[in-house]
């Protein structure tokens, strides 16, 4: 992934209290993407409480996640943690025989006491061979921030992906395929796949798949297109398996999505004319859909707090296509290589911050009095009460926002709080 870097913008690096989720939170959407998987966190009551606080407003007849809570006996070494885990997994699989993939998810407590979940996954996989695949990744707060949990989960799936040669032999097809990586909404995924077909790219696969057992192949001939910017580890691991990374900005907004699809088309040798023929009508329509939102957003000042690593591509979209002014873009983690195309599109002089000192950052927010603040739910209502409009950031990983056709909807997510403020009146 060597390549010339564009001029690096100056980045403010901060250390202090971070107001972010840990990687365990990724379970909240991954359990819906792969309904045949179960996510078993090995951690404390805090971990269990986190997930149910996030997802517990939905009522589950059959829970798709749970926590193996460590007790004092486990910490004191009085109980063999591995035996305990085996017992719990057997109990769980008895209740839920339809589970095909079991993720053992590491947490802060399990990592601090150095419980080897990778080994445990291997052992349990053997015990339940043929029934369920057991995998492991870390969602701990000390190692991962929010969406990085998905990066971990996908990396755990990679060793199970068949090689392209195996699949090609089975299907008597050429191994060339486009692999879209990162969770997409079902409708968005279908739409993008059909557009790639129109461009002449026939074999398109997704990671994660909709069923945990239907993993796409990977190997030489696989070209990798990242739909989400938070997949550093997954991208590197797929490249290690022989896939080739397509460099592109991320598919947010008309411009980003077009460039993203065009980059894939170029990688497959599709001519520019064909690309223009398929995509330009969509671009035209996408711009029309954006116009009313642009009216609300243009000239408004935006402050983005760190949360998901989606901040930079979103800021690029909101500034270039919606006319917003960027006060500061915060990101929990900046992968300069995977973000290079995005950084090059940002207005010169944009203030970027990596990491967080939440109180200092809030002081900057209060000083700047932006028109809209993108932030987490721990801060949104308090900032609203101070008179600032906010857009809560978590919604962006739960909404269909990718692709040219979704550009209007994506802009609407940001215009809505502003329109609402204007619409409410209690006089």
What is the C-alpha to C-alpha distance for residues 373 and 350, in angstroms, rounded to an integer?
16
Distance CA(133)–CA(104), nearest Å, equals 11
Told to check if 373 binds another protein by CB under 8 A, we report no
Could you tell me which stretch among 6-14, 137-145, 285-293, 320-328 binds another protein (CB under 8 A)? 137-145
Q: Does 141 help bind another protein (rule: CB under 8 A)?
A: yes
Minimum distance, C-beta of residue 406 to another protein, in the bound complex (Å): 26
Closer by beta carbon to another protein, 186 or else 359: 359
Closest to another protein by CB, 92 vs 259, is: 92
How far is 393 from 309, CA to CA, in rounded Å?
Answer: 11
CA angle 417, 422, 425 (to 5 degrees): 115
Part of the chain binding another protein (CB under 8 A), chosen from 13-21, 125-133, 262-270, 275-283 = 13-21
Q: Counting contacts by CB under 8 A, is residue 19 touching another protein? A: yes
Whether the CB-CB separation of 372 and 302 falls below 8 Å is answered with yes
Contact 299, 323 (CB under 8 A): yes
Cross-strand partners of 163: 218
Residue ranges in 280-319 that form contacts with another protein under rule CB under 8 A: none
Within residues 379-398, the interface with another protein by CB under 8 A covers 379-382, 384-385
**Does 48 sit near another protein (CB under 8 A)?**
yes
Q: Can residue 116 be called a binding residue for another protein (CB under 8 A)?
A: no
Instruction: State the alpha helices, DSSP H only, in 136-185.
Output: 148-157, 164-171
Choose among 355, 350, 377, 375: nearest CA to 365. 375
Binding mask 65-94 for another protein (x = CB under 8 A): xxxxxxxx-xx---x-x--xx-xx--xx--
Q: Is the dihedral of CA 313, 294, 362, 390 positive or negative?
A: negative
Instruction: Please provide the DSSP assignment of 34-51 as one string.
Output: STTEEEEEEE-HHHHHHH
Give the nearest distance from C-beta 78 to another protein in angstroms: 11
Name the residue nearer to another protein (CB basis): 177 or 361: 361
Residue 112 engages another protein in binding (rule: CB under 8 A): yes
Buried b (16+ CB within 10 A) or exposed e, 312-350: bbbbbbbbbbbebebbbbbbbbbbeebbbbbbebbeeeb
Residue with smaller CB distance to another protein, 42 or 201: 42
Q: Which is nearer to another protein, 24 or 290 (CB)?
A: 24
Within 8 A by CB and 6+ apart from 418, the residues are 296, 297, 300, 371, 372, 389
Q: Does 263 bind another protein (CB under 8 A)?
A: no
Instruction: Rule CB under 8 A: say whether 129 interacts with another protein.
Output: no
Which tokens hold the place of 413? 């997510």
- In angstroms, what is the minimal distance from the CB of 64 to another protein? 9
Q: Under a CB-based contact definition with an 8 Å cutoff, are residues 318 and 302 in contact?
A: yes
Counting contacts by CB under 8 A, is residue 359 touching another protein? yes
Tokens 């007849």 map to which residue? 61
When binding is defined by CB under 8 A, the residue of 9, 63, 200, 233 that contacts another protein is: 63
User: Is 22 among the residues that bind another protein (CB under 8 A)?
Assistant: yes
Contact between 17 and another protein by CB under 8 A: the answer reads: yes
Instruction: Give the residues lining the site for another protein (CB under 8 A).
Output: 16-25, 42, 44-46, 48-50, 52-54, 56-57, 59-63, 65-72, 74-75, 79, 81, 84-85, 87-88, 91-92, 95, 108-109, 111-113, 140-143, 145, 359, 376-382, 384-385
């Amino acid at each position: 992934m060597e390549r010339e870097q564009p001029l690096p913008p100056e980045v403010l690096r901060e250390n202090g209290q971070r107001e972010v989720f840990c990687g365990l939170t990724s379970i909240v959407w991954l359990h819906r993407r792969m309904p045949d998987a179960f996510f078993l966190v090995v951690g404390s009551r805090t971990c269990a409480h986190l997930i149910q606080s996030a997802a517990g407003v939905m009522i589950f007849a059959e829970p798709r996640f749970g926590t193996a809570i460590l007790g004092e006996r486990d910490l004191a070494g009085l109980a063999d943690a591995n035996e305990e885990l085996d017992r719990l997994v057997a109990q769980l699989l008895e209740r839920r025989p339809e589970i095909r993939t079991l993720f053992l998810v590491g947490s802060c407590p399990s990592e601090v006491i150095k419980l080897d979940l990778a080994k445990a996954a291997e052992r349990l996989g053997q015990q339940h061979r043929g029934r369920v695949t057991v995998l492991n990744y870390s969602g701990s707060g000390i190692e991962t921030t929010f969406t990085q949990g998905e990066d971990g989960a996908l990396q755990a799936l990679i060793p199970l992906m068949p090689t392209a040669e195996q699949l090609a032999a089975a299907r008597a097809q050429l191994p060339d395929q486009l692999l879209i990586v990162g969770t997409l909404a079902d409708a968005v995924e279908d739409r993008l796949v059909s557009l790639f077909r129109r461009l002449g790219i026939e074999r398109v696969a997704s990671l994660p798949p909709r069923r945990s057992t239907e993993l796409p192949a990977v190997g030489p001939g696989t070209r990798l297109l990242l739909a989400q910017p938070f997949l550093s580890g997954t991208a590197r691991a797929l490249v290690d398996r022989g896939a080739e990374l397509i460099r592109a900005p991320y598919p947010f907004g008309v411009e980003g999505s077009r460039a993203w699809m065009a980059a894939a088309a170029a990688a497959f040798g599709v001519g520019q004319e064909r690309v223009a023929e398929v995509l330009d009508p969509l671009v035209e329509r996408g711009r029309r859909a954006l116009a009313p939102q642009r009216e609300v957003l243009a000239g408004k000042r935006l402050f983005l707090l760190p949360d998901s690593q989606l901040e930079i591509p979103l800021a690029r979209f909101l500034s270039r296509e919606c006319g917003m002014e960027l006060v500061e873009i915060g990101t929990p983690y900046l992968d300069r290589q995977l973000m290079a195309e995005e950084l090059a599109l940002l207005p010169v002089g944009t203030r970027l911050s990596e990491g967080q000192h939440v109180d200092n950052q809030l002081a900057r927010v209060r000083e700047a009095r932006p028109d809209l603040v993108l932030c987490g739910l721990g801060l949104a209502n308090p900032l609203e009460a101070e008179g600032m409009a906010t857009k809560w950031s978590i919604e962006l990983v739960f909404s269909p926002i990718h692709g040219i056709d979704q550009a209007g909807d994506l802009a609407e997510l940001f215009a809505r709080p502003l329109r609402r403020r204007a619409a409410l009146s209690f006089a």
